[in-house]
Structure 1
Amino acid sequence: MSDKYFVPRRLDDPELIGLWTLDEFLGLAIPFAWGILSQHILLGVPLSFGAWWVLRKAKAGRASSWVVHAAYWYLGESFVRLKATPPSHCRLLAG
């Protein structure tokens, strides 16, 4: 106990809901809830695990914000609607 200050070892860990990050949890929960509400539970369960797997592979060691950046880049500004970013037709000028 010779150290006066305590520095956490993991400052940038994302918040977890159970074993999943928020976006992975929503990828599981939304198709599952759709399956229950539409009475297609046998379709909702594979869709939820498929969405979770795709999100997990898309992130693959990157930050969760990478998915939002990729959606803006490939789908354009009208899909994502971020206010602090330039229009998608100017993205080549930005670098």
Structure 2
Amino acid sequence: MRTDTYIPRRLDDQWKIGFWDVDVAAPVALMFFVGYLSGTRMSFAICLATGIFLSRWISRLKADKHPAYAIHWLYWHLPASPLTAMRATPPSHLRRMVG
């Protein structure tokens, strides 16, 4: 009758790649892939350094803000398309608060 059951404390955590959030690790992974495709060691090193710089910039930008800050920023600053449009929220060009 005595079993160890795991009770999660947080259900809405950000996705992780290892210890890093996805939005912080994605620039490094993307630039790693681009550098690998480039074919030379110098361009690989430059791409990897650029990816690390971008990820550190994003992590500093996200510091002390909402965990989904990057998603919110993308919603407000990218153009709406059928792929990025959300149904439950108004379009990003409507910025008038009601209430």
TM norm structure 1: 0.69
Q: Which residue of 1 aligns with 2:53?
A: 50
Query: 1 or 2 for the larger relative contact order (CA 8 Å, sep ≥6)?
Result: 2
Structure 1 SS opposite 2:94: helix
Structure 1 Cα separation of the partners of residues 67 and 85 of structure 2: 16
The 1:30/1:75 distance shift into structure 2, 3 A limit, reads same
Structural RMSD (CA): 2.7
The residue that corresponds to 2:84 in the other structure is: 81
Work out the CA distance in 2 between the residues paired with 1:68 and 1:15: 12
Match of 1:16 in 2: 16
Counting matched residue pairs gives: 89
Q: For 1:13 and 1:61, locate their aligned partners in 2 and report how far apart those are by CA, in whole Å.
A: 16
Residues of 1 paired with 2:60 and 2:70: CA distance? 11
Q: Please list the CA deviations of residues 10-61 of structure 1 after superposition, one character each: whole Å capped at 9, or x if unmatched.
A: 5254443222112222121001110110122021111110121111012113
CA distance in structure 2 between the partners assigned to 1:70 and 1:94 by the alignment: 21
Q: Report sequence identity in percent.
A: 31
Q: Structure 2-normalised TM-score?
A: 0.67
Which of the two has greater helix per residue? Answer: 1
